[in-house]
Amino acid sequence: MARIVFDDSRSIADMLHSKENRRTSFAVFNKMIEEGAFWVSETITQNKKDFQEIQKLQAQINKRKADLLYENLDLIWRNREKIKNTPRHATIDVSYAVDGGGAYIGPLHKSSLRWVSSSRLEIFLNLKRLLEVWENNDNFREPCTCGGSAFVRWISGSPLSGVCYWKAVCPQCLSTISGNGGNFLARYTCVVGILSKNFEEFAEKFQEKWKNAEEENQRELKQANPSPSNYFSTDEAPCEMETMIQELRQMEAEKRIGESQTADKTEKEK
């Protein structure tokens, strides 16, 4: 058995005789196994299994949420302005809402993972951005047989040949249609561009909040008896898709009841 460390700046001969590289005899290897020093331990294997189970469960959750979104697409589309102007709705993670991929470039990226000072930072496609794409980007709209515009939710194709296959859902009749045509690369890069824009906005907001926190901290320190305070303000946490849909249904129901009561009152007065 052997462990080899490669270094392109050195020759093969030097590397093979390096102290970093060592060969293990079969007898020593057996001793290591007896001591419990497995190359792949049971804990590592179990961790991989657990991670696979989590991925499987997450895939099921994402499918359920995507189905819920498109089953209520008419409700969401009617209330899109309210959603975009309500932070807890606008920032809902909807990376499950669009899918696909292409030859040579792989699956469609709907989130961007970065490490900042050893801290995990993941940027997702949010509901506000998705609604804006459907509103303003013709590449994500296809004519529906009912006369309305269906919104693209899945793409597949090639950036070289330009071929593009798609699936879309219409907010008017809620039917799913499919076809081919359109600019595959423009659709693919649009989603990637949204993630970059979201990260830039996050960085700008973070810098502003950090500046404000430092100023607040300095003001507190100048006091004779500074009191603890939350210097760094945070945004309102997004709610779940299920919660938002329930709130929109209740809002529309209350509106209908109010209009009905007003109409009855007007009719009686006549």
Q: What is the pLDDT of residues 139-152, one digit of tens each?
A: 999 999 999 999 99
Q: What is the pLDDT of residue 209?
A: 84
Q: What are phi and psi of 11, to 5 degrees?
A: -75, 160
- What secondary structure does DSSP assign to 207-252, as a single string? HHHHHHHHHHHHHHHHSSS------S--PPPP--HHHHHHHHHHHH
Residue 1: pLDDT band (50, 70, 90) is very low
Q: Quick one: how far is CA 147 from the chain centroid?
A: 31
CA distance 147 to 18: 72
Beta strand residue intervals within 55-118, DSSP E: 99-102, 106-107, 111-116
Q: Quick one: how far is CA 86 from the chain centroid?
A: 19
Mean pLDDT value of segment 10-17: 63
Q: What is the pLDDT of residue 228?
A: 56
Does residue 176 have a pLDDT over 70? yes
Residue 238: pLDDT band (50, 70, 90) is very high
Does residue 93 have a pLDDT over 50? yes
Mean pLDDT of the chain: 85
Does residue 243 have a pLDDT over 60? yes
How does strand 99-102 pair with strand 149-157?
parallel
CA distance 46 to 54: 12
Does residue 22 have a pLDDT over 80? no
- Rounded to two decimals, the pTM is 0.75
Q: What is the pLDDT of residue 65?
A: 96
CA distance 137 to 132: 8
- As to burial, measured by CB atoms within 10 angstroms (0-12 exposed, 13-18 middle, 19+ buried), residue 60 is exposed
Structure tokens at 121: 């930072």
Does residue 175 have a pLDDT over 90? yes
Q: Following CA atoms 76, 78, 82, 86 in sequence, which dihedral angle do they give, to the nearest 10 degrees?
A: 0
Does residue 5 have a pLDDT over 60? no
Q: What is the pLDDT of residue 166?
A: 96
Residue 23: pLDDT band (50, 70, 90) is low
Q: What are phi and psi of 168, to 5 degrees?
A: -145, 155
